Amino acid sequence: MSRMVAYMGPTVPLHRIVFDPPHNLLEQARHPREMTYADFNADGFGVGWYAADGNPACYTMDVPIWHDLNLQPLARSLESDLWLAAVHHAREPFTWSRADAQPFCDDELLFVHNGFLAEFAATMRQDLRAFISPEIETSIEGRSDSEHIFGLLRHLLASDPELNMETAIGQTYELIEEWLYDRTALVNVLISDGERIFAGRHAINADCPTLYYTTDDEAFPDGQLIASEPLTESGVWQPVPEDHLLVLDPEEPPELLAL
């Protein structure tokens, strides 16, 4: 389980997301308010952005976010007009590793998953790995359900150049449901292609984890944000409806699509 944050808008340094708001990512790690499967997020964290060369970049660590002495100088120095970030609570902490810290990235996309696929390793993992291309299968570094979901999405996109992201996310959810039988899945995701941010709020045989967004928080002028829990007390955050996909575009109003 995780707490996730996404930002799109004017270029801001990382500390504006991680440290400055009253209920910032660090606070959501230490004192989350709306987590149902964990009390804190001490197993790792990460941030993702697009570098000057236009490619995704990720900084991930397998320690509590408040342990990382480098985060403060980096948060004063790294700037971007698009951020994804997460703090993690491992369901199986003794097998958690650095390779499980998110965001994940490939050559184009940033990806964060909050939730879990019940009994993943014993069940769906085989089907999923057999379904995706060898190139993508080989590129999976860890053993988390989250990285495999990202692999599945990448496979769908790579298999059909015409496929748009909204449909690919929908198909990903469908395949998960098919392979899941009657087990439980919590599958909130944040995805970016560098232009837009896609946020899915979805669960199967369970309640959806929380997910909020705002385009009107005075702490982030002209910014659009998504977060597991509102970063501020400003009251302008609203929930993403359950089983919906939210699309943020710098030039368009937020779009909500039923899954």
Binding site for a copy of itself (CB under 8 A): 13, 30-31, 39-40, 42-43, 49, 51-53, 55, 57-64, 66-67, 69-70, 72-74, 76-79, 90, 93-99, 121-122, 125-126, 134, 138, 141, 143
Amino acid (1-letter code) at residue 52: A
Both structure tokens of 209? 């984890």
Instruction: Write down the least CB distance from residue 44 to a copy of itself, Å.
Output: 9
Q: Which is nearer to a copy of itself, 51 or 256 (CB)?
A: 51
Please report which residue ranges of the chain form alpha helices under DSSP H: 15-18, 25-30, 71-77, 124-131, 134-139, 145-159, 165-180
CA torsion 249→254→255→259, rounded to 10°? 100
Q: Which is nearer to a copy of itself, 53 or 182 (CB)?
A: 53
Q: Which is nearer to a copy of itself, 31 or 160 (CB)?
A: 31
Q: Which is nearer to a copy of itself, 59 or 173 (CB)?
A: 59
Q: Which is nearer to a copy of itself, 96 or 150 (CB)?
A: 96
Q: Which is nearer to a copy of itself, 14 or 208 (CB)?
A: 14
Q: Decide: 188 and 202 in contact? Cβ < 8 Å.
A: yes
Instruction: Write down the least CB distance from residue 99 to a copy of itself, Å.
Output: 6
Instruction: Write down the least CB distance from residue 104 to a copy of itself, Å.
Output: 12
Directed axis angle between helix 145-159 and helix 124-131, to 10°?
Answer: 30
The whole-angstrom separation of Cα 256 and Cα 197 is 12
CA-wise closest residue to 101 among 69, 59, 158: 59
Give, in order, the Cα–Cα distances in Å from 133 to each of 129, 130, 206: 8, 8, 30
Number of H helices, E strands in the chain: 7, 14
Amino acid (1-letter code) at residue 227: A
Q: Classify strands 79-88 and 110-117 as parallel, antiparallel or unpaired.
A: unpaired
Instruction: Write down the least CB distance from residue 103 to a copy of itself, Å.
Output: 11
Instruction: Write down the least CB distance from residue 221 to a copy of itself, Å.
Output: 18
Instruction: Write down the least CB distance from residue 70 to a copy of itself, Å.
Output: 5
